[in-house]
Amino acid sequence: MSAVSSWVSETLVRDATERRIFAVLGLITVLLVVGVLTGVIGPRFLLFQIALVGMYALLSLGLNVQWGYAGLINFSVAAFWGIGAYCAALLTAPNSPLGLGLHPVFGFLAAIVVSAFIAVLIGIPTLRLREDYLAIASLGLAEVIRAIILNERRWTAGSSGISGIPNLMSWLPLTDAATTAAIVVFLIAVVYLFLRRVHRSPWGRVLRTIRSDEDLAKALGKNTYLFKMQAFVIGSVIMAIAGAFYAHLNLYIDPSDLVPLTTFYIWIAVILGGTGSNRGAVVGAAVVIAIREGTRFLNDIGFIQTLGIDLAPLRLLFVGGLIILIMRFRQDGLLPPKDELIWPAARDESSTGGASPSGAVPDGGTSSNGGDDR
Q: Rounded CA gap, 5 and 356, in Å?
A: 10
The overall pTM is greater than 0.75: yes
16-41 burial, b if ≥16 CB within 10 A, otherwise e?
eeeeebeeeeeeeeeeeeeeeeeeeb
**pLDDT at 339 > cutoff 70:** no
Of the pLDDT bands very low, low, confident and very high (cuts 50, 70, 90), residue 368 is very low
**pLDDT at 363 > cutoff 50:** no
The pLDDT tens digits for 227-279 are 999 999 999 999 999 999 999 999 999 998 898 888 989 998 998 888 889 99
Sheet strands (E) in the chain:
162-163, 252-253
Positive/negative CA dihedral, 14, 16, 19, 20: negative
Q: How far apart, in Å, are the Cα atoms of 105 and each of 78, 109, 162, 238? A: 22, 6, 18, 15
Q: How far apart, in Å, are the Cα atoms of 98 and each of 9, 86, 103? A: 61, 11, 14
> What per-residue confidence (pLDDT) applies to 300?
66
**pLDDT at 85 > cutoff 70:** yes
Q: Residue 53: helix, strand or coil by DSSP? A: helix
Residues 329-333, mean pLDDT to the nearest whole number: 79
CB atoms near residue 194 (< 10 Å): 14
**pLDDT at 370 > cutoff 80:** no
Of the pLDDT bands very low, low, confident and very high (cuts 50, 70, 90), residue 345 is low
Residues 128-157, mean pLDDT to the nearest whole number: 86
Give the dihedral of Cα atoms 163, 165, 171, 177; nearest 10 deg. Answer: -70
Q: Residue 163: helix, strand or coil by DSSP? A: strand
Q: Residue 279's Cα: distance from chain center in Å? A: 10
Q: Residue 244's Cα: distance from chain center in Å? A: 15
**pLDDT at 207 > cutoff 80:** yes
> What per-residue confidence (pLDDT) applies to 4?
54
> What per-residue confidence (pLDDT) applies to 359?
39
Half-sphere exposure of 156 (CA within 13 A, CB side): 20
**Helix and strand counts by DSSP (H, E) for the chain:** 15, 2
The pLDDT tens digits for 7-39 are 455 555 566 777 888 888 888 888 888 888 888
- Most confident by average pLDDT, 66-70, 238-242, 291-295, 334-338: 238-242
> What per-residue confidence (pLDDT) applies to 362?
38
Comparing 174-178, 216-220, 221-225, 247-251, which segment has the lowest mean pLDDT?
Answer: 174-178
Closest among 172, 75, 48 to 133, alpha carbons compared: 75
- Please report which residue ranges of 251-360 form alpha helices under DSSP H: 260-273, 278-294, 302-307, 315-329, 344-353
